[in-house]
């Protein structure tokens, strides 16, 4: 077994599929030859990944609506998440790429690592079928799946608040800094979330973004827009 095969716990029957999965398109660009790269496997692997994650969520969250399942899936197959999976396997160090791509940081680039992970999924699928690909995907995503299954709430209070309010009215929440305190290196910001004349919530944090998130979280808990609707 190659070091990567040992790391992923899977040995290829057809080693050329692994070579193809690890070949970045920049190799062909620099050699100006008809060189196989991992783009086609990436295309296939993306579909397999979506299927496996969709099936897992569908079976586990048997009462969730389609829109909710779509949001949960997007967290598990996002570019940042795939980069995390690829980095855990040290996939970047195994990639074959052109010198220019490598010099520009290609081995650490999110898109490159995400594509390589999808290509590896596609290669495993072609090498021995869906069950092997499923086993590999679920092993890499195990920690994230367990977290989502234990706590499926979206970690995006501002986005959730905006979506909820826009289902009632075209207006969005407006965040206003009402105070700043403390020294420059340790400031505390206090922010209020306003919507159509109502103070929905208030939050504080070491920067404006975290204070806004805290205000949105309180707004979701208090649900003051409901009083306006009555």
Q: What is the pTM of this model?
A: 0.67
Q: For the chain, where do the domains classified as CATH 1.10.1520.10 start and end?
A: 3-150
| Residue-level pLDDT at 153 | 58
Q: Which of 37, 118, 127, 212 is catalytic?
A: 118
**Which residues, including other chains, have CB under 8 Å from residue 110's CB and lie 6 or more apart?**
79, 80, 83
- The Cα angle at residue 135 between residues 129 and 141, in degrees rounded to 5: 130
Residue of 46, 101, 192, 212 marked active site: 46
| Mean pLDDT score of the chain | 88
Quick: pLDDT tens for 122-172.
999 999 999 999 999 999 999 888 878 876 655 578 888 888 888 888 888
Topology at the third CATH level for domain 3-150:
Ribonuclease iii, N-terminal Endonuclease Domain; Chain A (1.10.1520)
The answer to whether residue 80 is catalytic is no
Nearest alpha carbon to residue 218 among 181, 189, 180, 192: 192
Residue 118: active-site member: yes
Domain with CATH 3.30.160.20 in the chain: 157-229
Closest CA to 160 of 205, 221, 76: 221
Asked if residue 31 has pLDDT above 70, the reply is no
59-114 tens-digit pLDDT: 998 888 888 888 889 888 988 889 889 988 999 999 998 888 888 887 888 889 99
Domain 157-229 is in which class? alpha beta
């Amino acid at each position: 077994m190659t070091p990567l095969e040992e790391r992923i716990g899977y040995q290829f029957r057809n080693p050329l599929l692994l070579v193809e999965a690890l070949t970045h398109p920049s190799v062909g660009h620099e050699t100006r030859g008809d060189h196989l790269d991992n783009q086609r496997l990436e295309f296939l692997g993306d579909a397999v990944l979506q299927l496996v994650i969709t099936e897992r969520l569908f079976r586990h969250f048997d009462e969730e609506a389609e829109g909710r399942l779509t949001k949960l899936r997007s967290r598990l197959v996002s570019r940042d998440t795939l980069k995390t999976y690829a980095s855990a396997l040290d996939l970047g160090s195994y990639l074959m790429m052109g010198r220019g791509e490598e010099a520009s940081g290609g081995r650490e680039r999110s898109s490159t690592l995400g594509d390589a992970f999808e290509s590896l999924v596609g290669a495993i699928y072609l090498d021995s079928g869906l069950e092997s690909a499923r086993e590999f995907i679920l092993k890499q995503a195990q920690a994230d799946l367990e977290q989502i299954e234990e706590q499926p709430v979206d970690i995006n209070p501002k986005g959730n608040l905006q979506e909820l309010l826009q289902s009632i009215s075209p207006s969005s929440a407006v965040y206003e800094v009402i105070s700043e305190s403390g020294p420059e290196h340790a400031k505390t910001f206090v922010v209020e979330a306003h919507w159509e004349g109502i103070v929905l919530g208030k939050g504080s944090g070491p920067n404006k973004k975290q204070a806004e998130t805290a205000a949105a979280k309180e707004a979701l808990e208090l649900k003051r827009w409901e009083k306006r609707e009555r």
